[in-house]
Copies of this chain bind each other. A is one copy, B any other.
Amino acid sequence: MIFRQLYEPESSTYTYLFACPDSGQAVLLDPVIDTLERDLLLLQELGLTLAYTLETHVHADHLTSARKLKHLVGAKIAGPAMDALPCTDFGVAEDRPLTVGSITFKPLFTPGHTDTHHSYLVADGGTGRVFTGDALLIDGCGRTDFQSGDPAVLYRSIHDKLFALPDDTLVYPAHDYNHRRVSTVAQERERNPRLGAGKTLAEFVEIMHNLNLPYPKKMDFAVPGNKKCGECPDEAPEDLRKLCDVSVQG
């Protein structure tokens, strides 16, 4: 498997590139419109064909490049089936994995940050790799105060689905605000200050209710835009609207 962890600095988002070396077919997980050009160049450099974009959830902090990538390079759009977005070509669910070449993305339903959030488990070499989106972050987790978020639901998702994976499973989050890149299930179980080291459900709910986080600055256009797989509402800044516009090339 070809694998790259890519970073978008404005929203501190990790986009992941996977490709099957035999077929040259690639998948971008959680691609961001701001880094469209970088992602296209990388695909070109590596000689890959983008078969799919895949989303962990409807993001509130950035706009996806799924729609634009479909327009430019014909990549099909995949995401959680339960979002029922008309712009999606393939809806994933726990019993409906996405397979591209020799790579299978096994969906794990991990709601709580949003009510339809999925993580993806990818088998690779000596350990699995789990892409935890905004459910489990390194030493943290996604916020639960909008988009039908629910801390009790997130606690159960993380404990029942993610902490149940083998110790050495590599944890790759959708964000890190301190430039950390990877962790393991054992590490998060042991030392995640919100969820690990025996933290109870009640303690976690208390922590999440007292975070007092600022309102996400892109949410008002990102959520409706991402529900259309990356269409830019008029409220979005002009530079983003240009990037999203499918009547413009490049």
Chain A residues engaging chain B, CB cutoff 8 angstroms: 1-5, 18, 124-127, 129, 167-168, 170, 178-184, 186-187, 190-191
Contact = CB atoms under 8 A, between A and B. Distances in A.
B187 A179 contact: yes
Given A3-B168, A167-B5, A182 B179 contact: no
What does DSSP make chain A's interface, helix, strand, loop or mixed? mixed
Nearest to A123: B125
A102 to B, nearest CB: 11
A134 B219 CA distance: 45
Contact of A2 (B126, B180, B186): B126
A92 to B, nearest CB: 20
Contact of A182 (B124, B125, B178, B184): B184
Given A182-B182, A183-B182, A168 B125 contact: no
A137 to B, nearest CB: 14
Nearest to A139: B180
Contact of A191 (B125, B127, B179, B190): B179
A126 B5 contact: no
